[in-house]
Homo-oligomer: A and B are copies of this chain.
Amino acid sequence: MQKLYNDAATMVDESIAGFVKCYKDQVAHTDCARTLRYIQAPVQGKVGIVSGGGAGHDPAFMGYIGKNMLDAVAIGNIFMPPSVESFYTAFKTADSGKGVVCLYGNYPKDIESVQEAVKLAKKDGIIVKTVVANEDVANSNPKQRRGMTGEVLLWKIGGAAASLGYGLDDVVKASKKALSRMRTIGIGLASCTIPEVGRPNYVIELGTMEIGVGHHGFSSMDTCKLKSADATADIMVDEILKDMPLKEGDKAAVMISGLGNTMISEMNILYSRVFDVLTERKIDIHHSFIGNYFTSLDMMGVTLTVMNLDDELTRLLDLPAYPVALNDFAYSNHNDRLG
């Protein structure tokens, strides 16, 4: 395995250490080694926003800590759920007395950890509400749908709502609305390697691709011949619009995220087609994101997320946020960026 690390068993902790050294004005350690907090958390007078999940999804989750976004995150081992303690510490860290909203993905073991941590927090008098992301279209049963890259937009919306002074229930309401109005689909071209395992954790045959692949590489809808970027974009847009129809005049946010080993050029090419298809349908693309927002180690592939924006979601998405992993250029055209 051609990777830069010291010890596969301590890789996550060492990555966290380097991250905090680099961004020490932005993030800080907590009492729990697998919980990081925004340097200003708890932000007084604001509902706390927490997320978390397994490592291996750079720059998630810790890259999204920051003003107007996440106040604390819980970090598991690679592709493994964070511990109860990790979420519990995150809740305590994020709470300023206004309660906490935990926005995280629909993975059974993550849910178990969160639910236990919510109980512990309750004993401390901290109210934690949860919203479980399940915007992946790759399962016909919505209850089994996974949280995918759309989580980034969910954190953006929930974080903005909290910063704009929404109360606990209203942050939950806005987050749920965002979730109900977005869909993600993933495409896999090559598997990833979990460092502790040291070999690809499943097989995608050369010349084929997986449609509807998840963030851990499993459970795709279909395996097919490797298609052109345009044909791939068409499939992705179709699957999303089949599940969440958009009509002429609708306003959308579009996010294309690489899964690790996919070049920005490839994403640009894919975006070009998505842009053309949506523009032809007279969908107004209000925000676009192209980059590695939520990866799966060194997997080859991409995800496409589309959010159908109403006025409230537009306002929340427009509010600048300042985590390490987002370039605010992408979602807000500040005048000071030009001239």
Show the binding face of A for B, using Cβ within 8 Å.
2-6, 11-12, 14-19, 21-23, 25-26, 39-40, 43, 55-56, 58-59, 63, 66-67, 187, 189-190, 204, 206, 209, 226, 228-230, 232, 260-273, 275, 288, 290, 292, 295, 297-298, 300, 302, 322-330, 333, 336-339
Which residues of chain B are within 8 angstroms of A229 by Cβ–Cβ distance? 4-6, 14
Q: How far is the CA of A11 from the CA of B336 in the complex (A)?
A: 33
Q: How far is the CA of A302 from the CA of B18 in the complex (A)?
A: 15
The reply to whether A268 and B18 contact each other, CB–CB distance below 8 Å, is yes
Q: How far is the CA of A22 from the CA of B2 in the complex (A)?
A: 34
The reply to whether B324 and A337 contact each other, CB–CB distance below 8 Å, is no
Q: How far is the CB of A171 from chain B (nearest CB, A)?
A: 19
Q: How far is the CB of A98 from chain B (nearest CB, A)?
A: 16
Please list 19 pairs of residues, one from A and one from B, whose beta carbons are closer than 8 Å in the complex, sorted by A's number. A2-B209, A2-B226, A2-B300, A4-B266, A4-B270, A14-B229, A14-B268, A14-B269, A15-B264, A15-B266, A18-B271, A22-B271, A58-B264, A261-B261, A264-B292, A292-B292, A322-B337, A325-B327, A328-B328
Q: How far is the CB of A200 from chain B (nearest CB, A)?
A: 12
The reply to whether B58 and A269 contact each other, CB–CB distance below 8 Å, is no
**Contacts A17-B272, A261-B298, A326-B327 hold; do A266 and B22 have CB atoms under 8 A apart?**
no
The reply to whether A297 and B4 contact each other, CB–CB distance below 8 Å, is no
Which residues of chain B are within 8 angstroms of A322 by Cβ–Cβ distance? 329, 336-338
Which residues of chain B are within 8 angstroms of A264 by Cβ–Cβ distance? 15, 58-59, 63, 292, 295
In the complex, residue of chain B having the shortest beta-carbon distance to the beta carbon of A62: B268
The reply to whether B40 and A262 contact each other, CB–CB distance below 8 Å, is no
Q: How far is the CA of A190 from the CA of B273 in the complex (A)?
A: 31
Which residues of chain B are within 8 angstroms of A11 by Cβ–Cβ distance? 265, 269
Which residues of chain B are within 8 angstroms of A209 by Cβ–Cβ distance? 2
Q: How far is the CB of A197 from chain B (nearest CB, A)?
A: 15
